Amino acid sequence: MFSIIEIKNLTKLYGQKGAVCRALHEVNFEVEAGAFVAVMGPSGSGKTTLLNIISTIDKPSQGQVIIDGRDTGALREKELALFRRDTIGFVFQEFNLLDNMTIRDNIALPLTLNNINAEKILHRVRELTALFGIDNQLDKYPYQLSGGQKQRAAVCRALVNQPKILFADEPTGALDSKAASELLACFQNVRSRYKTTVVMVTHDASAASYCDRVMFLKDGMISGKLETNGNTEEFFKKILNMVALLGGERNELL
């Protein structure tokens, strides 16, 4: 199987001499194309730092990030911007939809900016929103949607360019458990339909149990990994056990 993400000896230091914070320390892993992976760990363990570096928003202090066979550290700013546009989608905890645009225009925005033909744009928006169960919400504005619907619209927007990888930072953080499970089921659909690789940071063991694999970070290092056998409930229990085993902030991770 092809590794769409290869992380080699990744270290990230913040700050200057005398006040250096080591957010990541010699992290190594690979993610297979089409996988759905969760990154968990206590507050301050380096999850967001890792996601920002893999998604090329931030640069490492040391180490390599190879995405889809390309060493991102070797790309110039312009190449990197194009690479990011064509390869990566991003979803945040806050939905970041534009209030004065309809849901249709919000989702279509990345394609409109790329001068794609209008018919193609509408087709893509219809296909994605049908998959996410919000195809009857397209004429509405963000304030007229529930939190779960807004987040599904934000994911549609992140996918409209057909990225190979979708990065999600606490995508269920602002949702109730029903809206969260609907969103996670959508991620699974996207993965099986488009073979999109999904990498998600989460504090929520239940959200992580929808994934194929969970990586646990502690103090900027990978402290454990788990893989599902396909049974979500069993996987959920294993994740809880791992959280307890790794110690520290069990309550926070729940």
Contacting residue, 41, 60, 163, 171, with ligand ATP by CB under 6 A: 41
Q: What are the start-end ranges of the H helices in the chain?
A: 47-54, 77-87, 103-113, 118-131, 147-159, 177-194, 205-208, 232-246, 250-253
Which position among 4, 5, 38, 49 is part of the footprint of ligand ATP (CB under 6 A)?
Answer: 49
Q: Establish if 44 lies at the interface with ligand ATP (CB under 6 A).
A: yes
Q: Which is nearer to ligand ATP, 20 or 185 (CB)?
A: 20
Cα 50 from Cα 217, distance rounded (Å): 10
Beta carbon nearer to ligand ATP, 1 or 19: 19
DSSP assignment of 61-96 equals: SEEEEEETTEEGGGS-HHHHHHHHHHHEEEE-SS--
Stretch that binds ligand ATP, among 2-10, 14-22, 145-153, 178-186 (CB under 6 A): 14-22
Q: Which is nearer to ligand ATP, 11 or 48 (CB)?
A: 48
Map tokens 């363990």 to a residue.
45
52 in Cβ contact with 71 (< 8 Å): no
Q: Is 46 in the site for ligand ATP (CB under 6 A)?
A: yes
Residue 48 makes contact with ligand ATP by CB under 6 A? yes
Minimum Å gap between C-beta 46 and ligand ATP is 4
Q: How far apart are CA 172 and CA 116, in angstroms?
A: 31
Range in contact with ligand ATP (rule: CB under 6 A) among 15-23, 100-108, 153-161, 234-242: 15-23
> Does the protein bind ligand ATP through residue 14 (CB under 6 A)?
yes
Closest distance to ligand ATP from the beta carbon of 22 (Å)? 8
What is the DSSP code string of 102-121? -HHHHHHHHHHHTT--HHHH
In the complex, least distance from residue 43 CB atom to ligand ATP, rounded to whole angstroms? 3
Nearest C-alpha neighbor of 238 from the set 229, 25, 247: 229
Which residues are at the interface with ligand ATP (CB under 6 A)?
14-15, 21, 23, 41, 43-49
